[in-house]
Amino acid sequence: WARHSKLQFREINSDDADILIYFEKGYHGDGYPFDGLGQILAHAFFPGTGRGGDVHFDIEEIWQLIGEHLKEDGTSLFAVAAHEFGHSLGLSHSSVPGALMYPWYQGFKEDYDLPDDDKYGIQQIYGANGRLWGKNYGDKHVHKTTLNPSYPPKYTTTTTTTTTTTT
């Protein structure tokens, strides 16, 4: 997000941070319970006071980290976190398939770069940083990482679907 906007991030160890990150399960005090493995992976709150900006991940998912070989039943923590942080920054879901802010989990892609729809969205809120990034520009290395409504909802979730076959 910072690569394509005027945003700057820094990690702090404080409950006063703009974005607090939690790993929770089931009912965890915010009115939006998790369902265990599958379906609801995480949710985030739009910027604001109280829980505004906070991100909650379902601890019962099989989270995979960058550099690990993704298991078929695993979920990329980077991909989900990047999506949820988009909500923390004020972005709603996108109707563009392939966009990071598309409402369905799309997995992790090597040599990930933020899709154009997401770049334009974050720049509409925070402005462009004026730098060009990517394989042929100032950032010599592409890092391997994983319709705004008038009144955006107070939270959003990332979901996935699973199919179970029994014989």
Q: Where are the beta strands (DSSP E) in 53-154?
A: 55-58, 63-64, 75-76
Cα separations (Å) of 167 from 68, 73, 77, 164? Answer: 32, 20, 32, 10
What is the CATH topology of the domain spanning 1-129+157-166? Collagenase (Catalytic Domain) (3.40.390)
Q: Is 28 annotated as a binding residue?
A: yes
Residue 70: what pLDDT?
A: 63
Domain ranges of the chain: 1-129+157-166
Asked if residue 111 belongs to a known ligand binding site, the reply is no
Q: What is the pTM of this model?
A: 0.75
Annotated catalytic residues are 84
Instruction: Tell me if 101 is assigned to a ligand binding site.
Output: yes
Of 24, 28, 20, 85, residue with least CA distance to 59: 24
List CB contacts of 136: < 8 A, sequence separation 6 or more: none
d(Cα 47, Cα 79) in Å, to the nearest integer?
Answer: 20
What pLDDT, in 10s, does the model give residues 82-109?
999 999 999 999 999 999 999 999 887 7
